[in-house]
Chain A
Amino acid sequence: MTIESETLGSVVVAKVRALTLETANVGAFRSAVEPVIETSDSVILDLSEVTFMDSTGLGAMLSCLRQINGKGGSLRVCCLKPEVQRLFDLVMMDRVFDVHPSLEAALATD
């Protein structure tokens, strides 16, 4: 699990390089995402490679969101695969996260 981050203007796009975000690798995700969250106020999490996520993975994303919101920043999420989208729909995470279908769409709201 790695996070590939790229700065586009004032926004950091963090791409999750993993097929899953779940109980098994949530620790690795937390460590990898931590520096990005700490150093940036405006982050887009690109989930285009993640095909499966569980509540633990979602929980880790929620703590990122809390952390960024806490310092007045913003976290956007983009490129959800159908399986991940289903999880978001099930627990109504689209009301909690700012979700975009593509990276372009996420950037356009900046």
Chain B
Amino acid sequence: MKVLVVDDDEIFLFFLSENLRNLGYEVVTAPDGEEGWDTFSTYEFPIVILDWLMPRLDGLSLCRRIRENLTQAYTYIILLTGRTEREDRIRAIEAGADDFLIKPLDPSELRARLGVARRITESEQALRDVRIMEMAVGADIQRKLLFGTPPIEVEGVEVDSMSIPSKQVAGDFLDYYPYANGILDVLIGDVMGKGVPAAMVAAGIKSAIEKSLLSMSSRSAGLPDLEGVLQETSDRVVAELISLNTYATLCYARFYGAQQKLVYVNCGHPYLIRWSALLDRCELLPASTVPLGFLEDARFPEHEIELGIGDLICLYSDGVSDIFGGPLELAEWLQPRASMPLNEIQLQLRTHARKDQLKDDATFVLTRWTGVYNSAKLMVWSEYDALQKARERIRLVAQGSYGLSDDAAGELILAVQEAGSNALRHARPGHRNLPFGYKVTNFLDCVRVELRYPGEAFLPASLNTVEPDATREGGLGLTIIARCVDEYSFSRDGDWNVVSLVKRKWKPHDHRI
């Protein structure tokens, strides 16, 4: 264990250092208070022994300075003094000294007092280790159990989320529950307090909500209503929350991609912000009830909001609104940015948040109702006229209401053709009976075509090895795809190849909808 000894008396310094080394301590010395401070602030020591009277900076002042500068670990300070007056001792304790050693030194007293110092600093260190481990466990709980990732594909709803953790573990949670028919549930919440206990309560509440969802789904055919889910959750946990003297704010929102509506229950969570694309205006959506854990007989009324094309709904934790000073200020910040692509808004928020000290976890979820104007699924067997059938059907959707321009639709169709004819060549060479599943969806900002077919895996990089004799045409097909659409991907889903082609209706830098 390292000990810093600060004394201007060279002989005494030598004598004390030797004694300490004999007791097994690693000793560093300084001849006066200022140098003592420099050494201390550079290396930090668990035990510091200071002489009271020293030139430049006396022991009492150095003691105060050490206490004023919070160090990672506790520093045990022993003051060396010839003074035995009661007032002097009180002054020293007030300055932050833990113990005294009276000059001239009695070696056995030195050993005993350092034993105390060692015991205290070691137990403090052990406690600190436990705290650090708990923090790591808490952060792990939060990351793994409390934060879901947004679904990639929900028809009609676009989602992007961001979470900036603060320095300490907190009780924030967030998850998504997508359903097959373009319905997406988003759950966001925050348990009072900080640290591992808050994260554990959050995990308990989230699990209770999921249990309620599951048990209600098993009891009835339709989707469980939000009011019912929260009522059942409250029945499960409210008594425990009250007895633990804690509570959670949460907002449970359900987006109906195909029906232009949002239903939510907000239990004391920060107000949802809705930006109306039509009016170019932000509004705060009213809360429904008190936080979970406030009242045993709370009710959870649902609010229903009709959404317009392009409307943005923002769910967030108070860590985000605190950055701006409140929900209204956050809405004001959001207003001029609301028509930007979601990831651009997130990026700007991240840049903004960095400038401020983040006191709490900042969780920010953006959902935009992109609308589905039309979509179609087409299943064809891979005789060659299948590609023509697919082209005709895709053109109908792509150029339907709010569709692509003639040129853009032509390019998308060309890319679809290349993907299909490429599949015919490589998926099952010589084997014509290949099922092709096309799905074309006309979204607010783009038209997406997905082609699925079984057979040999196709990875663009492997083209030359798959088809050595037709490299040129195959390469040409890929070039055409790359130039005709704004996004494309080739992937594998089990035994199926999945080709996704996206044609945007406007370029990404046109932020206006």
Binding site for B on A (CB under 8 A): 20, 22-25, 52, 54-56, 58-59, 62, 82-83, 86-87, 90-91
Chain B stretch 365-391: residues in CB contact (< 8 A) with chain A? 384-385, 387-388, 391
CA distance A56 to B470 in the complex (A): 10
- Bound Cα distance from A90 to B411, whole angstroms: 9
Interface size on B, residues (CB 8 A): 23
Q: Tell me which of A22, A23, A24, A55 contacts B480 (CB under 8 A).
A: A55
Task: Give A90 Cβ to nearest chain B Cβ, in Å.
Answer: 5
Residue of A nearest to B411 (CB): A86
Q: Does the CB pair B473–A24 fall under 8 Å?
A: no
Count how many pairs of residues, one from A and one from B, have CB atoms less than 8 Å apart in the complex: 59
A22-B417, A23-B424 in contact; A83/B479 too (CB < 8 A)? no
Known: A23-B421, A23-B424, A54-B414. A59 touches B472 (CB 8 A): yes
B476 close to A (CB within 8 Å): yes
Q: Identify 21 residue pairs between A and B in the complex whose beta-carbon atoms are under 8 Å apart, listed by A's number.
A: A22-B387, A23-B387, A23-B420, A24-B388, A52-B417, A54-B417, A54-B418, A54-B480, A55-B421, A59-B470, A59-B472, A59-B473, A59-B476, A83-B410, A83-B414, A86-B414, A90-B414, A90-B483, A91-B476, A91-B479, A91-B480
Report Cα–Cα, A59/B411, bound state, in Å: 18
The distance from the CB of B425 to the nearest CB of chain A, in whole angstroms, is 8
Shortest beta-carbon distance, A96 to chain B, in Å?
11
Beyond contacts A23-B417, A90-B479: 7 other A-B pairs, Cβ-Cβ < 8 A, are A22-B388, A54-B417, A55-B421, A55-B477, A82-B410, A86-B411, A87-B414
Are B407 and A86 in contact (CB-based, < 8 A)?
yes
Instruction: Give the chain B neighbours of A87 by CB distance below 8 A.
Output: 414, 480
Chain A's nearest CB lies how many Å from the CB of B415?
10
Pick from B384, B391, B417 the residue with the most CB of A within 10 Å: B417
0 or 1 for each of B476-495: is its CB under 8 Å from A? (1 = yes): 11011001100000000000
Kindly provide the distance from the CB of A104 to the nearest chain B CB, expressed in whole angstroms.
27
Residues of B within 8 A of A62 (CB): 472
User: How far does the alpha carbon of A22 sit from the alpha carbon of B417 in the complex, in Å?
Assistant: 9
Q: In the complex, which residues of chain A have a beta carbon less than 8 angstroms from the beta carbon of B391?
A: 52
Kindly identify, within residues 381 to 418 of chain B, every residue whose CB is under 8 Å from any CB belonging to chain A. Answer: 384-385, 387-388, 391, 407, 410-411, 414, 417-418
The interface residues of chain A lying within 8 Å CB-to-CB of B421 are 22-23, 54-56
A82, B409: Cα distance in complex, Å:
13
Pick from A24, A55, A86: contact of B410, CB below 8 A.
A86
Complex A-B, nearest 8 residue pairs according to Cβ-Cβ distance, in ascending order: A24-B384, A59-B473, A23-B421, A55-B476, A55-B477, A54-B417, A90-B483, A83-B410
Nearest B residue (CB) for A24 = B384
- Interface pair B385/A24, CB less than 8 Å apart: yes
Contacts of A91 in B (CB 8 A): 476, 479-480, 483
B384 contacts A55, C-beta separation under 8 Å: no
Question: Is the pair B384, A23 in contact by a Cβ cutoff of 8 Å?
Answer: yes
Q: How far is the CA of A23 from the CA of B477 in the complex (A)?
A: 11
In the complex, A58 Cα to B497 Cα: how many Å?
A: 25
Question: Across the interface, which residues of B come within 8 angstroms of A86, CB to CB?
Answer: 407, 410-411, 414
Known contacts A20-B388, A23-B387, A23-B424; decide if A58 and B411 are in contact (CB<8 Å). no
A54, closest chain B residue (CB): B417
A64 CB to nearest chain B CB (Å) = 14
Q: Which residues of A contact B473 (CB under 8 A)?
A: 55-56, 58-59
Contacts of A23 in B (CB 8 A): 384, 387, 417, 420-421, 424
Query: Which residue in chain B gives the minimum CB-CB distance to A20?
Result: B388
Distance A23 CA – B384 CA, assembled complex (angstroms): 7
> Which residue of chain B is the closest to A25 with respect to CB atoms?
B384
Residues in B with CB closer than 8 Å to A90 are: 411, 414, 479-480, 483-484
Q: How far is the CB of A97 from chain B (nearest CB, A)?
A: 14
Residues in B neighbouring A20, C-beta threshold 8 A: 388
Closest to B483 in A: A90
The CA of A24 and the CA of B387, in the complex, are separated in Å by: 8
Shortest Cβ gap from B508 to chain A (Å)? 20
Given A22-B417, A86-B407, does the pair A58, B384 have CB atoms closer than 8 Å? no
Residues in B408-438 with C-beta less than 8 Å from chain A: 410-411, 414, 417-418, 420-421, 424
A91 to B480, CA, bound (A): 7
A23 to B387, CA, bound (A): 9
Name the residue of chain A whose CB is nearest to the CB of B478: A55
Complexed CA–CA distance, A55 and B411 (Å): 13
CA A54 to CA B476, docked complex, whole Å: 10
Q: Looking across the interface, which residue of chain B has its beta carbon closest to that of A90?
A: B483
How far, in angstroms, from A55 to B387 measured CA to CA in the complex? 13
Q: Which A residues touch B384, using CB under 8 A? A: 23-25
**Bound Cα distance from A56 to B472, whole angstroms:** 10
Report the separation of the CA atoms of residues A20 and B473 in the bound assembly, to the nearest whole angstrom: 17
Q: Which residues of B contact A22 (CB under 8 A)?
A: 387-388, 417, 421
B260 CB → nearest A CB, Å: 35
Cα–Cα, bound, A82→B411 (Å): 11
Q: Hey, which chain B residues are within 8 Å of A59, CB to CB?
A: 470, 472-473, 476
